[in-house]
C-alpha cells in the first residue's frame, strides 16, 4: 500500500467516524465479512484480498474505501482471534442490534459476494459452520427487509 494511504489510514483509524464518508455502512459491511472470516480459525491473507476485490466492486473502483473495508474487516477478525472483547456471538448480536436501528443496512448483506470466502475453507466442520452463518444472514436480511416494507407503504 502507498505511504499516503498508510498515513491516511492512521488518521482514519484514530478519527474514523469523523473522516470516513458513510462510516457506519462501511463498518457494517466489515462486520459481515468478519463474521464469515472469523468463523474460520485458519483465516488466510487471501480472505482479505477477496474482501478488497469485493470492496472495489461495491465502491466503484475507489481503492481507498476498498482498503478501509479490508483493514476494518482485518481488525475485527483480529479482535475475534485475540479474544479482545469480541467473539462471533457478540458480533452476531451487534449485527442484529444494528439492523434494528438501521434496517436499510440489510440491503448490504450480499450472500453471493460472501460465498468466495468459503472456497478458502478446507475443514468440513468449519465450512458447515460458515454455511450456517450465510443461511442465518440471508434469513436475517429477508426478515429485516420484510419488516421495512410495511413502513414504506404508510
pLDDT along the chain (154 residues), means of 10: 62 50 79 96 92 95 91 92 87 95 94 95 95 97 88 52
- Would the pTM of this model clear 0.85, i.e. be above it? no
Of 88, 15, 77, 24, nearest to 50 by C-alpha is: 77
142: containing domain? 3-153
pLDDT of res. 6: 63
* Share above pLDDT 70 across residues of the chain, in percent, rounded to a whole number: 82
pLDDT of res. 2: 65
pLDDT of res. 19: 47
Residue partners of 33: CB distance under 8 A and separation at least 6? 51, 54, 69, 73, 114, 117
What is the greatest pairwise CA distance in the chain?
50
pLDDT of res. 154: 47
Residue 113 DSSP label: H
How many structural domains are present in the chain?
1
**34 neighbors 77 (Cβ within 8 angstroms):** yes
Which 3 state secondary structure label does DSSP give 99? Answer: helix
Burial of 149 (0-12, 13-18, 19+ CB in 10 A): exposed
Residue 130 DSSP label: H
* Share above pLDDT 90 across residues of the chain, in percent, rounded to a whole number: 70
Amino acid at each position: 500500500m502507498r505511504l499516503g494511504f498508510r498515513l491516511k489510514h492512521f488518521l482514519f483509524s484514530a478519527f474514523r467516524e469523523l473522516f470516513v464518508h458513510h462510516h457506519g455502512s462501511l463498518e457494517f459491511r466489515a462486520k459481515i465479512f468478519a463474521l464469515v472470516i472469523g468463523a474460520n480459525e485458519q483465516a488466510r491473507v487471501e480472505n482479505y484480498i477477496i474482501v478488497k476485490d469485493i470492496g472495489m466492486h461495491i465502491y466503484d473502483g475507489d481503492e481507498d474505501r476498498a482498503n478501509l473495508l479490508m483493514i476494518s474487516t482485518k481488525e475485527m477478525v483480529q479482535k475475534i482471534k485475540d479474544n479482545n472483547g469480541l467473539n462471533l456471538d457478540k458480533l452476531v448480536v451487534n449485527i442484529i442490534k444494528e439492523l434494528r436501528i438501521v434496517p436499510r443496512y440489510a440491503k448490504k448483506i450480499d450472500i453471493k459476494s460472501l460465498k468466495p470466502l468459503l472456497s478458502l475453507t478446507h475443514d468440513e466442520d468449519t465450512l458447515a459452520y460458515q454455511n450456517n452463518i450465510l443461511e442465518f444472514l440471508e434469513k436475517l436480511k429477508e426478515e429485516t427487509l420484510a419488516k421495512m416494507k410495511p413502513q414504506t407503504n404508510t
